[in-house]
Amino acid sequence: MRTSLYVGSTSLMVCCLSLVQAQEALDIAGWFAQAEQERRVGVARKTKSVDVRPSRTGEIISTIIAGEGKETQSPPASDGDMVVRNRCPETGNEEILVTAAKFAERYAGPTGPADAEGWRPYQPRGIDMQYFIVRSSDGTFTFEAPWGESMVARPGDAIVRNPNDVKDTYRIAAAAFACTYEIVRPAQ
């Protein structure tokens, strides 16, 4: 009796663990579609100036959000990629790696001279991005970022997507979104 109960408990545990893992690795395109059906998708654009420096070939950038820890990690940098540092003390002025191809379409500048560490000011081009805010009822979930790294989304965070490239979908921490983005059209 004990053996069959143990086997049954193990099967139940494996079943539940599989459900939890399935919930953690969500299809972000499906979440966006659901948010659109529920009229929770708005439009926002990044407007706050950033600091930029050239990456070193092979450099890996870990994006650290103050109070949360590591958000994500970039793949190794290629020639022409840039390191972008947000100007948001509340998030720890987090850094991200932007590929050479995406950088030119997203940032204009430089708008001023380099500082002693080589950082130069740039202005976001203000591309309209679709977004929705993760609700408390959505809970915390994980999805795959365009660069292949897992991202954790928490209630209050924004999930943003380039409407011209729906695979370009990623998380912006709630404080970073409030600091660097302006709402063009709120969700209805």
Contact 87, 65 (CB under 8 A): no
Report if pTM > 0.85: no
- What tokens does 160 get? 């943003």
- Render each residue's pLDDT in the chain as its tens digit; 188 residues: 444 443 443 333 333 333 333 344 468 999 999 999 999 999 999 999 999 999 999 999 999 999 999 988 999 999 999 999 999 999 999 999 999 999 999 999 999 999 999 999 999 998 999 999 999 999 999 999 888 888 999 999 999 999 999 999 999 999 999 999 999 999 98
In degrees, to the nearest 5, what angle opens at C-alpha 28 toward C-alphas 26 and 30?
Answer: 95
Alpha carbons within 13 angstroms on the beta-carbon side of residue 107 total 26
- What tokens does 121 get? 């000011």
